[in-house]
Amino acid sequence: MEITRKPGRPSKERLPENVSSYLDRHGKRRYRYRVNGQKTHNFKETYGTAAFDEELSSLRSGAAPVSGERYERGTVGWVAARYRASLTFTGGKSEQTQRTAWLILEKFVAEFAKYQIIHFQFDHIESILKRAATKRPNAKGRMIGGPSAANNLRKELLPFFAYAIKALRLERVNPVEQADTVKVPKGGFHSWSEEEIAQYRAHHALGTSARLALEIFLWTAQRRGDASTFGPHHLRDGMIEVTPAKTANKTGKTIWLPVAPQLLEAIEAMPVAAGKTFLATAFGNPFTRAGLGNKMRDWCNEASLPHCAAHGLRKAAARRAAELGATNQELKAFGGWTTDKQVSVYTEAANQKKMAKSAMAPMIQFDLDNQKT
């Protein structure tokens, strides 16, 4: 008697992490992507194809997949599906950096998905950047856009169009290279003053997430993405060990910092023991990079500091160190910067103040001495 076995997963099939297969009611093998905390996704593309890999890459980056098969060859949508799985996009970038890059690109892709790449000229790009540079409220009432947002978009469009030109074998210059950058007002993010730090602390007491967030930013000089993942596992032998996500794939450089008593006090004052991260949402989950930035925006508004933001605390930390005599090398060790030029962005005002004081001190004394004679 012949035994009929229910078909199972092919024995040689080695599936990627978080991907599993199953037989549907028609006996057809299907594939799905499952990660805790996310909705299960059933793959639309055929397993083993480049399109499947592109769909998987999209899922891992945290954004909705873009299927290139929906668009004609040569369109923005067609290029986008391939670009996300390419080494041009993924090479040397951490998952967080990839996610951030795609969040910047996806609105452009969604709007122009059916447009042919070959039709884009530099003036079209400049028009798109000009619109991105205009500050405006989004659906939730939060302000978006601005010169920095426009230049961030230009930064991501450059490799996108370079890849498109290569993929389509076009004989043309990159229109993004020809488009001018948007001038950013000098200074960028506002650096918190000592009075503003004191005002925020007076409004948000110890034992609140708002207060803990300030102390984390101020005493670690971390970016939002790193602060959102900062937790007990980063504390070792009275020191903080952190590898900035922005440079993780490039240098792998680990930063060691002493744990400031003010930061430790804020951590210990929290009413609930920390989970994987010190900062968590109302549902107990870690913040996303953007989520923490938005929440910090709310906390600043509550403290009547609408002009202050999370990144301004990183600048304030660098300013404090510079004003107290830290060298460029010491500042690099503190904030994870790699060049003097990067440090100067954060310390220009402090250096000017220090040099002016040094230059005027003898002049003041000279004048005082003359008045006595």
What's the token pair of residue 77?
Answer: 């949508």
Compute the half-sphere exposure of residue 333: CA atoms within 13 Å on the CB side of its CA. Answer: 9
For the chain, how big is the Rg over CA atoms in Å? 26
Q: What is the pLDDT of residues 243-260, one digit of tens each?
A: 887 665 455 678 888 899
- Specify the amino acid at residue 145: G
**β-strand partners of 217:** none
The Cα-based distances of 116 to 119, 213, 239 in angstroms read: 6, 45, 53
pLDDT value at residue 212? 96
pLDDT value at residue 299? 96
H or E segment to which residue 143 belongs: strand 143-144
pLDDT value at residue 7? 45
Domain with CATH 1.10.443.10 in the chain: 194-357
Residues of the chain with pLDDT under 50: 1-9, 11, 249
pLDDT value at residue 188? 65
Is 194-357 CATH 3.40.640.10? no
Identify the CA nearest to 228 among candidates 283, 298, 297, 278. 278
Q: Where are the alpha helices (H) located in the chain, listed in sequence order? A: 50-60, 76-83, 87-90, 95-112, 122-132, 147-167, 175-178, 194-203, 209-220, 224-229, 261-268, 289-302, 310-323, 328-335, 340-372
Q: How many residues does the chain have?
A: 373
In whole angstroms, give the CA distance from residue 58 to residue 86.
11
3-state helix, strand, coil in the chain (%, to 5): 50, 10, 40
Query: Strands of 41-42's sheet, edge to edge?
Result: 19-23, 29-33, 41-42
Q: What is the pTM of this model?
A: 0.56
Phi, psi of 241 (to 5 degrees): -115, 120
Number of neighbours of residue 252 by Cβ within 10 angstroms = 8
pLDDT value at residue 3? 39
Q: What is the pLDDT of residues 315-341, one digit of tens each?
A: 888 888 888 878 888 887 787 777 777
Q: What is the pLDDT of residues 293-309, one digit of tens each?
A: 889 999 999 999 998 99
